[in-house]
Chains A and B, each alone.
Chain A
Amino acid sequence: MEGGVAYEQGLNLKATELTLGLPGTGETEGQGGVRNNNKRPMPTSETNEEESQALKAADRGSTAPAAKLCRAQIVGWPPIRSYRKNSLQEKKDSEGEASGMYVKVSMDGAPYLRKIDLKVYRGYPELLKALEAMFKFAAGVYSEREGYKGSEYVPTYEDKDGDWMLVGDVPWDMFMSSCKRLRIMKGSEARGLGCGV
């Protein structure tokens, strides 16, 4: 492959090209590294989305800063069919609402509830650690047979059917899709849910 030879071998057309830019701009930084000044401005990887959209709007030579634009996207980019784009977006929206990514967490005796985003956690250990930190309690050790052994508090959740279940029994992604809210139950009430106190 010739690389930059076409430019360098005497036919340096770029150097003799009429441009509106200052002489010397736009070519010496390696091939096409810096763009010619009179070209249609394009978003670069350094500029943030808003700025790039402002650049785009400020075309045809006008330098007036564009009005503040919300969530700037290049129209039609990336080039995927709107059907596909919409269906992925719908999926994200529905995941956000119905299957409880943000769930309320209540603790018996606490004056107010909290809310956490289940998506943030990769599994039960992380979730429990976060809950323990948030509410200042210790959940104990989970086992399938005995539930949370050695703890005054037990993490439970309400599933899609409205039943109160022990956190940790089902695979994590099933838990994520069925958990509607969390409740940290006091040990005395949790008897029967496998609390080993």
Chain B
Amino acid sequence: MNYFPDEVLEHIFDFVGSHKDRNSVSQVCKLWYRIESYSRQKVFVGNCYAIGPERVAERFSGLKSITLKGKPHFADFNLVPPDWGGFVYPWIEAFARSRVGLEELRLKRMVVSDESLELLSRSFPNFKSLVLVSCEGFTTDGLAAVAAYCRQLKELDLQENDVEDHRGHWLSCFPESSTSLVSLNFACLKGDINLPALERLVARSPNLKSLRLSRAVPLDVLQRILIRAPQLLDLGVGSYLHDPDSENYNKLVTAIQKCKSVRSLSGFLDVAPHCLSAFHIICPNLTSLNLSYAPGIYDNELIKLLRHCHKLQRLWILDCIGDKGLEVVASTCKDLEELRVFPSDPYVGQAAVTEEGLVAISRGCQKLNSILYFCQQMTNAALITVAKNCPNFVRFRLCILDPTKPDAVTQQPLDEGFGAIVQACKDLKRLSLSGLLTDQVFLYIGMYAEQLEMLSIAFAGDSDKGMQYVLKGCKKLRKLEIRDSPFGNAALLMDVAKYETMRSLWMSSCEVTLGGCKALAKRMPGLNVEIINENDQMEFVGGCDDDRQKVEKMYLYRTLAGQRRDAPEFVWTL
């Protein structure tokens, strides 16, 4: 291999796409490491505190695209206090200084300030793509900077971010010369939008393939936009309230008929459901449908819509679809691969789907490989049936609204059901458990879930053994997050070296003590062991008292960057 010129190796490495594979390639020998490093254009950093930006820029001199993830996953559910961290600014600043030719930035669960967006937009002349998922800290002023100064912007994709809205002028900041937009998603913005500016922008963007509108965009504007952009592949409808007899509605029907390329439909944030029939004509082409933000669509109108969706591969829906509605999906959507059923009334704690809906889906949709299912109840029998019908699950996430509910029929724990899932689904990479569960389910997971990479546990298990089974058995485990389960120091300290093979471990409301965490930190200097000490609940005392202090929230992760310097007061790094 040594007598291949570098360019040949580089060319070969071009075909190696996934970052996992590229990581493997770089470990073969020093030559391969060097070539792979300067030729890698897309870098993935699963934990922004695992490594420093300078080091990334130095190693990957050809870096064009970076994906960064910040806060731990449970931050999505308010378990992590604000100001915990995950700031993108240092990354942008370091990359600007190192003159990285950044073209794409993809962030998840990070704090993005307007300053960082401004710095971003001014520092990278070739910048093309900004994707922010579940981020916070910025306002529409930051978006205005991106619109104004990123001359080559192709993609601005805002998914489920918490954005402070300073009115809609940011859209007018796209210069008249900007014609490069391919993807624009501002569905999560809550404020008013400059509608004429939006229409003009769409009119001068012939490459626009994906457009997701916010609630502020009414029917008549939608209709005009669709006329301008019949080439759209992905459409997110904002507001869909109107009178079915109006002229506007008829114009809309005509416009929709021209959109023969739409494969993905979402939105309907405000909706008059009886007018959905206008969309029936494009339903047979859809491969992806997201109605999970449309509680106004249910019962007959929803069923009517779904009956047209024969080619659906991905469906995100609210539980008001009901078990009966899921039966319709099962008989209509034979190509379904991913299903997510969200609770429409999370505060009340009642879900409108049960194990029956899940079983129906498993019978009808043989290609199903990914599910997120919020339901009222579950049974072992149902899970065993599902496992038999769908052995191809890669992601299986079940959430029973009452987190410790047993089998609804037998009142037994759901150990056997989940056990069947992990035994049948040999490719299972991600699993979330709920319901009444004992250590037994973890025994099964440790035994059978050989490919498991991420496991989420809540209110489960009886003793340290549960967690130990998992740590011992799941060789490919990367992320483990546990809340409200009786796992303590014995489990935590059983195999400390394992944590260096993982990205992170989260434990909250468990039985681990300050003493245990300190012991772990001492033995593993390559880990950051962080304690989140809200409300000054704990004292950093030392001595035997440490073992009496239970740690409310612990987050540990492997890192090359040492202790982070931006931790707030309530975060202790041990």
Which A positions have Cβ atoms within 8 angstroms of B? 1, 3, 6, 13, 17, 30-33, 35-36, 39-40, 42-45, 49, 60, 73-85, 87-89, 91, 171, 173-174, 177
Contacts and interface: CB of A to CB of B under 8 A. Distances in A.
B483 A76 contact: yes
Contact of A83 (B188, B344, B347): B188
Given A76-B483, A78-B346, A91-B295, A83 B274 contact: no
B23 interface: no
Contact of B160 (A35, A79, A83, A171): A83
A138 B456 CA distance: 59
A13 to B, nearest CB: 8
Given A39-B486, A60-B550, A83-B188, A76 B78 contact: yes
Contacts of B77: 75-77, 79-82
A153 to B, nearest CB: 28
Contacts of A33: 406, 411-413
Interface in B531-573: 550
Contacts of A40: 484-486, 509-511
Contact of A32 (B74, B402, B436): B436
Interface in B153-191: 160-162, 188
A43 B484 CA distance: 11
Contacts, number: 117
Contacts of A39: 462, 486
Interface string B497-511: 000000000000111
A174 B272 contact: yes
B273 interface: yes
Given A44-B404, A78-B346, A88 B79 contact: no
Given A33-B412, A76-B78, A83-B161, A43 B404 contact: yes
B205 interface: no
A76 B79 contact: yes
7 nearest A-B residue pairs (beta carbon): A32-B438, A76-B77, A83-B160, A76-B79, A81-B76, A32-B413, A39-B486
Contact of B412 (A31, A76, A89): A31
A80 B272 contact: no
A42 to B, nearest CB: 5
Contacts of B344: 88
Given A32-B415, A76-B483, A82-B77, 14 more contacts: A1-B423, A31-B413, A35-B462, A43-B402, A75-B77, A77-B403, A78-B374, A80-B76, A81-B134, A83-B160, A83-B161, A84-B160, A174-B272, A174-B274
Contacts of B272: 173-174, 177
B194 to A, nearest CB: 22
Nearest to A86: B162
Interface string B177-218: 000000000001000000000000000000000000000000
B113 interface: no
A177 B79 contact: no
B399 interface: yes
B463 interface: yes
Contacts of B188: 83
Contacts of A17: 463
B60 interface: no
Given A31-B440, A32-B438, A1 B419 contact: yes
B6 interface: no
Interface string B388-427: 0000000000010111111000011101100110010000
13 contacts: A3-B416, A33-B413, A75-B79, A76-B77, A78-B399, A79-B432, A80-B342, A81-B76, A82-B76, A83-B160, A85-B346, A88-B345, A173-B274
B243 A174 contact: yes
Contacts of B404: 42-45
Interface in B428-465: 432, 436-438, 440, 443, 456, 458-459, 462-463, 465
